[in-house]
Amino acid sequence: MNSTKIFAGSSNPNLTKSISQKSKISLGKIELGIFSDGEIDVWVQDDVNNCNVFILQSNSMPVNDNIIELALIADALRRSGAHKITAVIPYFGYSRKEKQNRVGEPISAKVIADLIISSGINKVVCLDLHADAIVGFFDVPVIYLSALELLASRIKKEKIKSPVVVAPDVGGVRRARNFAALLDAPLAVIEKHRYTHVRDHMEVLSMSGEVSGDNAIIIDDVISTGGTIIESAKALKKKGVKKVIVCATHGVFANNAVKRLANSPIDKIIVTDSISQKAKSPKVEVVSVAGLIADCLVQEL
């Protein structure tokens, strides 16, 4: 039987350690560094010959560094004789560019998937991608996990009276519908227009579903600058909603998003630790996906 090890990239070492403890998969020894010119240095210090190995790396900020580091770790493991290499990518960067919005744009998610797989990865584990179609971008088997049940379990502890689940855009309706089913709650949908010439800017156009007087739970896959959910929360409060809670799997929190969200009409934000959270806010709560991922990896042994 091949031995198994899990290696941590720079993006989320605490999550990797927690998964190692829960799964009883030993944590591999690896040295990561950056040369004076900004190039990334990787040294696998364990003997991995004929081992099955997992690499945990979220493609979060610094996005490009973490993507390259993942590819270099995979290459180092392959050259060291690893039998099977599985990339565990809790947050897949560039996932919001899974299609062309206008002529002349790349399909960035496909480019990154190809780059990662070309480094020698045999299998991928992903969590709540921005679009399900991204699974097909990988030319290797993919295990697709979701944190919706975890987030729904946390929301149930709030004992919210008359909750309504809100999709912040039409593209998130399927996710919101599944979340609403978990909570046995009605669904409302916000229609928005995103300006292609202004990044991370949107305008609420209309809303379907009755929300007046209810407690709203906005469900999304990722919070980046917070612009979408802030505008959605404003629209909901104007409709008479008493309390707005936001749930999202991935908390990117770019460009002072935490400060902006702290000053917004949003009452509470719940995200997972798919991305290591350094900024602190009384409004933000983090729930761990370590158990979810650990259970998945144990099944792969």
Per-residue pLDDT of the chain (301 residues; tens, 9 = 90+): 469 999 999 999 999 999 999 999 999 999 999 999 999 999 999 999 999 999 999 999 999 999 999 999 999 999 999 999 999 999 999 999 999 999 999 999 999 999 999 999 999 999 999 999 999 999 999 999 999 999 999 999 999 988 999 999 888 999 999 999 999 999 999 986 555 555 555 554 456 666 666 799 999 999 999 998 999 999 899 888 999 999 999 999 998 999 999 999 999 999 999 999 987 889 999 999 999 999 999 999 8
CB atoms < 10 A from the CB of 72, how many?
A: 17
238 is a domain residue: yes
Find, among 299, 298, 263, 289, the residue nearest to 127 by Cα: 289
Statement to judge: residues 135 and 63 lie in one domain:
yes
Q: Are 157 and 97 within one domain?
A: no
285 found inside a domain: no
Query: How far is it, in rounded angstroms, from Cα 225 to Cα 228?
Result: 8
One domain for residues 95 and 23: yes
Which residue in 192, 237, 242, 268 is the catalytic one? Answer: 192
Residues 180 and 221 in one domain: yes
Report which of 47, 115, 113 is spatially closest to residue 82, judged by C-alpha positions: 47
Q: Does 217 lie in the same domain as 127? A: no
Residue 168 C-beta-side C-alpha neighbours within 13 Å: 24
Residues contacting 107, CB < 8 A, separation 6+: 97, 98, 99, 100
Which residues are paired to 245 by β-bridges?
217, 268
In a domain, 278, yes or no: no
Between CA 167 and CA 188 the distance in angstroms is 6
Say yes or no: 258 and 197 in one domain: yes
159 tagged catalytic: no
* 31 plus 132 within the same structural domain: yes
Cis peptide preceding 62, ω within 30 of 0: yes
Whether residue 89 is found in the same domain as residue 183: no
Taking the model in full, what pTM does it have? 0.92
Domain for residue 281, yes or no? no
Note whether 142 and 198 are same-domain residues: no
Domain residues for the domain of 95 are 4-146+290-300
Same domain? 249 vs 183:
yes
The reply to whether 122 and 200 lie within a common domain is no
Asked if residue 142 and residue 40 are part of one domain, the reply reads yes
* Domain CATH number, residue 66: 3.40.50.2020
Number of domains the chain contains? 2
